[in-house]
Structure 1
Amino acid sequence: MLAPFACQPDQSRGRLHPERMSSFRSPFQRDRDRIIHSSAFRRLKHKTQVFVEHEGDYYRTRLTHSIEVAQVARTISGVLGLNTDLAEAIALAHDLGHTPFGHTGEDALALLMAPYGGFDHNAQALRIVTRLERHYADFDGLNLTWESLEGIAKHNGPVTGPNADEKHAGPLPYALAEVNAQWDLELHTHASAEAQVAAIADDVAYSHHDLHDGLRSGLFDENDLMELPVTGPAFAEVDALYPGLEKMRRRHEALRRVFGRMVEDVIAVAKNRLDAANPQSVEEIRAMGMTIIRFSKPLYQELKAIRSFLFHRMYRAPSVVVMRKEVTEVVNGLFPLYLAQPEMLPDEWRADIAAAQSETELARLVADYVAGMTDRFALQEGQRLLG
């Protein structure tokens, strides 16, 4: 039984290209399955989360990150009576548009694409699921439901209007504008509760696993985390319960308590806010003008301290900065090379290249190609073509 404010499968706004209903899967289950079977999802296996793919076998990649986000989203949405299939679909799709080398690659490509409408990984995810995946006879993309597309577009909040985040100031990313022109995603409203769950699950997952990966990399150690809120009390609790516990078990026990604290906080806050607002439909969730799924204010402030620590000790660590510089040079070299010589792209891109009516259209095709690369392939192509 779903809550009245959940997205009901039988009330979906449907698909852009009408399809016959499945006899054994709901529309949102089909969306999830199509995302899992997409080429873009498989490529996440070799795309950076923090550490470039070849730097170690145990670090998270975009694929393992997305799976962890989906697990958190299913847990939270299940407790709240939301549609777990839709929450999982949005969680699995939320990073499909990421470039090789994570945010470093995105920053480089955004600068290169500035004359051609910019680049945004959320908008690129929409471009992938509506255009670039080409496996079906009747349509381009995955032909996802409106609710899944809305969740990909707005899981972090409204993109236009008075409630939009400041980072969305300026024109819409072209990839998002193209999809929205074809099918109005109501970008001025908040998304469904399921999409909001996917967004907070992303925060929970990376806040947890970046601590794990940072410890494994040696960029900081457990003593550093003892000085921080949330992590410090978690290690102290483990030490009190299990004196002298072996290092790796101690680490895991402490960080799973950090993980649990975040999930439990989100659920408690969401229950209180939903009980107070008493929404009776998903439309009421969209019209609230605020995010209903969020951390409590005290925990949010404590997590800000952890994220600041991670920023300085991990994301901007000297070794990471060196790698950021190297992979930026790869993107900066490949993009103008392909733009000047588009015939270097694989054969399956030739028809689109021939149909390009302007340099802007051509640049966007090149951006699609470069953004779709894995870390490994981008490095190989950089070596082969740039030396």
Structure 2
Amino acid sequence: MFHIKTFNAIAPEGMTRFDKENYKINESETPDGIILRSQKLHDYAFPDSVLAVARAGAGTNNIPVSECTEKGIVVFNTPGANANAVKELVLASLLLSVRPMVQGIQWVQTLTGEDVEEQAEANKKQFAGTELEGKKLGVIGLGAIGAMIANDAYRLGMEVTGYDPYVSVDTAWSISRRVKRAMDIKEVLTNCDFITIHVPLTDATHHLISTEELAQMKSTAKLFNFARGEIVDTDAILEAVINDKIGGYTTDFAEEKLLNVDKITVLPHLGASTEEAEINCAKMAARGLKRFLETGIIKRSVNFPTVEMAFDAPYRITVINKNVPNMLGQIASDIASLDVNIANMVNRGRDDHAYTLVDVDETDPEKIQAIADKLAQNEGVIRVRTIKNTEVGY
């Protein structure tokens, strides 16, 4: 029986994946897994029981990932599950930035008299705006969201340039050949009429856009931030907008300094807040967490490598360890010393840590526990789990 603790309201379409026969939800303060959306866990005291945390969303800055890694806690996210929702909001914001529809709608509501239609016709030019077609859009970050925006903006008739030094092979295949790829960020900043940011928040991307970068932009260019608030330097953007160094700023992250400033539009973090996105994220988060708890397989983790292997043995042993030489040999040697045969084995490393799956041809639970105890004595090992194969025949 696995115990799951939730923070925030998780869409039931995701939670129903945890069958009642094998899972209990919010019935223990020592859970095996945690699933959450925006709850900040930096001050949360993780019980030793926690094996994994699943974020129903792409960003994980509300989770102390480094601390989790050191404790052997796998952190999952759901990249791409909310991509369409964010893409549509960015495209809508692009359109609203050139066509003052909201202002026009509000103005019409102030009209009175029997000649409302005539008044509207006579004064509509103040809300005429411009068009996106033929304008240049720069997309910084070509992950799931950035790639979708680049493709759809091209279909709207925009000239699109994308910048991402770490673009994956899968993403590269999904991006239209008509999207120009920039070799450095300066090319995007200096040439584009609209710039939208879609990178994760890391030490390297904190204040990615600040005074120097804003100075390279056209005085009429508009910047859009639907990634994370801290990626753009707030003080620098205020100075640039107020002094007409750029044409405007739209962000999905509310901050008091940005409110009631001309040419700055602040949304209440609507990016992934559609019903469909919340369901997709909940399903993906629950699926990844459930798979890991039941089989040890890791997919879409932000702190450990992807490791998959068919579970075709009575027991599986999982090992999280420091990524140091000869660790795999030590694991195999410890298991062999107890006269247990290894049926299959896979190991992958990521930065300073590694993850190993070992399937063994052994049915005696006492022997399996003896293996786990011996492996745990290795100073390079952080966490050991044993998983019984529940399929018929084992």
When normalised by structure 1's length, the TM-score is 0.25
Q: Which has the larger radius of gyration?
A: 2
TM-score with structure 2 length normalisation?
0.25
Select the structure with the greater relative contact order (CA < 8 A; seq sep ≥ 6): 1
Query: Which protein is richer in strand relative to its size?
Result: 2
Is the helix fraction higher in 1 or 2?
1
